[in-house]
Amino acid sequence: GENVEQHPSTLSVQEGDSAVIKCTYSDSASNYFPWYKQELGKRPQLIIDIRSNVGEKKDQRIAVTLNKTAKHFSLHITETQPEDSAVYFCAGGGGADGLTFGKGTHLIIQP
Amino acid sequence: NAGVMQNPRHLVRRRGQEARLRCSPMKGHSHVYWYRQLPEEGLKFMVYLQKENIIDESGMPKERFSAEFPKEGPSILRIQQVVRGDSAAYFCASSPHPSGNEQFFGPGTRLTVL
């Protein structure tokens, strides 16, 4: 089955700086890679996703890149704001086995 | 279009009691996934259901846990004879796709076992 590794587990950045979270996956058949944001006590919310036929996708301040050869994908948040503080989860899958989630990155935006 | 609904939001049980957690998927979604989340940890897949069928229960403990998604009504995750280690947040997600793409999560049920 799929195995998704996520790094770092905690990331602290100054407000206005960029944040990058990285994930690797093991199953070359995986073709769908979403990112979820979870605020304390709330549900995970889908913020962006990418499919394997695309190398990069952008939505305002967030972007995701995918390197199929190396089996890794990354979340980039630019011009970080206090409301970006949350736990971010990557996931991989899209085949018969569904999604496998990373363990999460706790992003802290320092004022 | 209402999102994924879960109830109850909070559930307290004593050891040995049964817990029943309900999940109503988004309209038009026929694929339901249940996850368990322990404090400060990620989402652990438990089970994937379609209407009247369990497709993948590889993440579900073999004993005391069961899930169903009947033709009518919500999906139910049932935990019998709860123990303290069952205390966690249980999230369900629904998707319009059989591949697990585009899963949308409910607000979760926070189970506390005393």
Query: pLDDT 10s digit of each residue in chain A, 111 long?
Result: 789 999 999 999 999 999 999 999 999 889 999 999 999 989 999 999 999 888 999 999 999 999 999 999 999 999 999 999 999 999 998 766 678 899 999 999 999
**Chain A residue with minimal CA distance to B42?**
A103
Give the pLDDT score at B1: 55
Pairing label, strands A32-38, A86-95? antiparallel
Give the pLDDT score at B41: 80
Region B33-60: mean pLDDT is 90
Give the pLDDT score at B98: 78
Main-chain dihedrals φ then ψ at residue A29, nearest 5 degrees: -80, -15
Give the pLDDT score at B75: 97
Give the pLDDT score at B93: 95
Spatial distance between the Cα atoms of A22 and A48, rounded to a whole number of angstroms: 14
How many CB atoms are closer than 10 A to CB B23? 26
Chain A hits for B96, Cβ within 8 Å: none
Share of chain B above pLDDT 90, in %: 77
A45 in contact with B at a CB cutoff of 8 Å?
Answer: yes
**Chain B residue with minimal CA distance to A99?**
B100
Closest CA of chain B from A100, distance in Å: 7
A49 in contact with B at a CB cutoff of 8 Å?
Answer: yes
Q: Which residues contact B31 (CB under 8 A, 6 or more apart)?
A: B25, B48, B49, B50, B94, B95, B96, B97, B98, B100
